[in-house]
Amino acid sequence: MAVLPVITWGDPRLKKNSEDVGEWTPELEQLSEDMFETTLFEEGVGLAAPQIGRNLNLAVIDCSCGEDPAQRIILINPEIILEEGVQVGPEGCLSIPGVREVLERPQKVTIRNRAKDGSWHELVGEDLLARAFCHEIDHLRGRLFVEYFGPVKRQVIQRRYQKQARS
């Protein structure tokens, strides 16, 4: 397994819509393992392929931060099909290190996800997992969490991030 470099805010690859994953291959298996390793190394909860420069509809989530292998989820061509309730809480992003902002997300999310064998199934996430589903699927659609804020707040966040990145 390898820790992969995470690209950061401003890189145009983060703004692209991802291409669907086709047949599951040993290369994709290795990529997903490397993505879990990178997420753990960076002390994150999830990582989408665009964040490592790969234009694939693929993301990994581990809300246990490496503590419980049963909580590892691979998102393959995921789609949100139902959002319920509201939660408000802090959110960060491995592509915007050092920035955490309070953001409203659904309390409960149901997604349609493809399994490695090509079959489709639904997954339901609440609380942190719901937030992670939304966050990672946003990445697959070329959207960063800071884009939910208005232009003034986004500019303030960007200036703070750039200042911190320089120091």
Give per-residue pLDDT as tens, 13-37: 999 999 999 999 999 999 999 999 9
pTM of the model: 0.95
What residue numbers does the annotated binding site cover? 93, 135, 139
Q: For the chain, list the domains and their CATH numbers.
A: 12-166 (3.90.45.10)
pLDDT of residue 141: 98
Active site residue 136: yes
pLDDT of residue 132: 98
* The one catalytic residue among 79, 101, 136, 147: 136
Q: φ, ψ for residue 128 (rounded to 5)?
A: -60, -40
What residue numbers does the annotated binding site for Fe cation cover? 93, 135, 139
Give per-residue pLDDT as tens, 124-141: 999 999 999 999 999 999
Residues in the chain: 167
Residues 21, 24, 29, 30, Cα dihedral to 10° = -70
